[in-house]
Amino acid sequence: MEYLIPKWTSYIPHLPHPKQHVFLLMDQKEVFFGGAAGGGKSDALLMGALQYVDVPGYNALILRKSFAELSKPEALMDRAQEWLIGTDAHWSGDLKTWKFPSGATISFGYIDNNNDRFQFQSSAYQYIGWDELTEWPDDISYRWLFSRLRRLEGCDVPLRVRAASNPGGLGHDWVRRRFVDNPRRIFIPSRLSDNPSLDALSYIDSLGELDEVTIQQLLNGDWTARLAGTKFRREWFDGKYIDYDRLPVNLKRVRYWDLAATEPGFGKDPCYTVGLYLAEDTTTGYWYIVDVQRFRATPFGVEQRIRRTADMDGDTVYVKMEQEPGASGVNTIDNYARRVLRDRHFSGHKPSGDKEVRANPVSSKCEKGLVYIVRGGWNDAFLDELEAFPNGVYKDQVDAFSGAFVTVGSTSGTVQVTKTRPDFEEPVVRRGDLTLRGERYIDKK
């Protein structure tokens, strides 16, 4: 029965509750502990960090958005002080690190924005714990910290990334997609009833003052509960998914680009560059969202990606781009027109009105069931953003959708769509004597 007993040290002051016990038994690289507030997640993270502090050379890191959040009453740094202050572990306030007689360490750190991750560039850890993971709006820093997960040859300490969070927060959608909706990763759901140490009745009474969605998230650990926006509903697209080869033949098509104002690594939460491919069937009045390209890159990287996407789409897809106000917007459009997309049907577009006003026409078409979505890996992230708009963190895909809707009418005539799906990842696909660019085969003979 030894395999049912987790690795233990004397620095852990109490036995784990059942869900914590399962959490501590896991030797997989990545585990997420999430659900209701008060489910024992913070204790589980700290217990996990303490499991191997008797092993020389072991180093653990626990992260939060800020040091202020780590040191609040009952937060992880404060809790570690309570657990370890009377032991032979030594606290360094300057380094925010506990050092143990074995030489092992547990350090506390913060990543407020993605640029902060580079403070750990020369470090190596065997355990990285993320407290309240949904506070990070994207997974850039989370994925990057895997590069700091390493050990010496011959060391049998498992390499572990552990995270805990309630539903809600800026990063709700990506955390849910990575863990809750992904059967390939380990998700341990927690409920208030999983933590018998908490005075549940008084806590439930306190939560009763909150709105219904937040109550569902914090009390029941419901990852499907969310603060919906006011413009779009996910259910409007039920039954509206189609395969690419089922698209009508004659369509007016445009790829509309909304460029990010900030490149990654600078600023707190840079937006995404988004290119949305929209097609209109003027004979039936139906609209088809064919593809969405969404990414972050440097200005040069953005140019390369937009050029590559234009090659994928083919020259029958018109390219439009939102033009920012002022001289910088003029210069950007001029650069793309003369250099990046000089051989494509390309022009800038100056939107009018605020984002919510611009979204009204496409919202109306969606509600009436006139908009179809081509099946693709981008579907979930796109619908997540639509459903949260305008309350969500990001609005880039909605802006591109609105822009494409307005500008597709300026394309000249309809073009025939073949039944061969373009490959939106590789610029050129060769088959014998035929070269596929976008939706056109070119006979090299």
**3-class secondary-structure state, position 32:** strand
What is the C-alpha separation between 46 and 24, in angstroms, rounded? 10
- pLDDT recorded at residue 35: 85
- pLDDT recorded at residue 434: 36
- Beta-carbon contacts of 94 under 8 Å, excluding residues fewer than 6 positions away, are none
Strand partners, 251: 415
Tell me the average confidence (pLDDT) per consecutive run of 10 residues in the chain, 445 residues long.
Answer: 82 94 96 86 96 97 94 92 97 97 98 94 97 93 97 93 92 92 93 65 65 74 77 94 94 96 53 95 96 93 96 94 94 96 95 92 96 96 89 88 92 50 41 36 34
The correct CATH number of 234-443 out of 3.30.420.280, 3.40.50.2000, 3.20.20.450, 3.40.50.1370 is 3.30.420.280
Q: What are phi and psi of 201, to 5 degrees?
A: -65, -45
Tokens of 305: 């990606």
Contact (CB, 8 A) for 307 and 341? yes
- pLDDT recorded at residue 412: 56
2-220: what fold?
Rossmann fold (3.40.50)
Q: Which string of DSSP letters, residue by residue, matches 145-194?
A: GGGGB---TT--PPPEEEEEE-S-STTHHHHIIIIIT-TTSEEEEE-GGG
What is the C-alpha separation between 24 and 315, in angstroms, rounded? 56
- pLDDT recorded at residue 4: 85
19 burial level (CB within 10 Å; 0-12, 13-18, 19+): buried
- pLDDT recorded at residue 215: 74
Neighbours of 238 (CB within 10 A): 9
Residue identified by tokens 């039944």 is 419
Strand partners, 294: 274
Domains in the chain: boundaries? 2-220, 234-443
- Beta-carbon contacts of 352 under 8 Å, excluding residues fewer than 6 positions away, are 358
- CA distances for 131 relative to 136, 162, 236, 406, angstroms: 10, 9, 35, 43
Contact (CB, 8 A) for 428 and 435? yes
- pLDDT recorded at residue 429: 36
Residue identified by tokens 């990010």 is 260
Show the CA angle centred on residue 106, arms to residues 101 and 111, nearest 5°. 160
H or E stretch at 358: helix 355-367
Pairing status of strand 318-322 against strand 346-349: parallel
What is the C-alpha separation between 111 and 123, in angstroms, rounded? 15
Q: What are phi and psi of 59, to 5 degrees?
A: -135, 130
pTM over 0.75: no
| Amino acid at residue number 210 | L
